[in-house]
Amino acid sequence: MSGKKDYHVVPNGDRGGWDIKREGAERSSGHFDRKSEAMERGRELAREHRTELVEHGRNGRIQDSDSYGNDPNPPRDKKH
């Protein structure tokens, strides 16, 4: 099992807004009113720690992800 712990931008059902959660962590790495703010900070954290940032929608489902580390299986498609 990999020691890599990705960051997830997820909706906060209790307080509203958006949280940045690192895999395996109990507390959030940040809480934001706007998803765009959470995504911006999440990108910074993912770059700093060379992990992946996983974006979730209001329903909690994964919408997108971006890798900022050494991805052993890089995507073949190109995002525009």
pLDDT in tens, 41-52: 999 999 999 999
Tell me, rounded to whole angstroms, the distance of Cα 14 from its chain centroid: 19
**Residue 53: its pLDDT value, please?**
96
In tens, the pLDDT along 8-66 reads: 999 999 999 999 999 999 999 999 999 999 999 999 999 999 999 999 999 999 999 99
CA separation, residue 46 to residues 3, 15, 16 (Å): 14, 24, 23
The tokens describing 55, both together, are: 């974006």
Amino acid 11 reads P
Give domain limits for the chain.
7-65
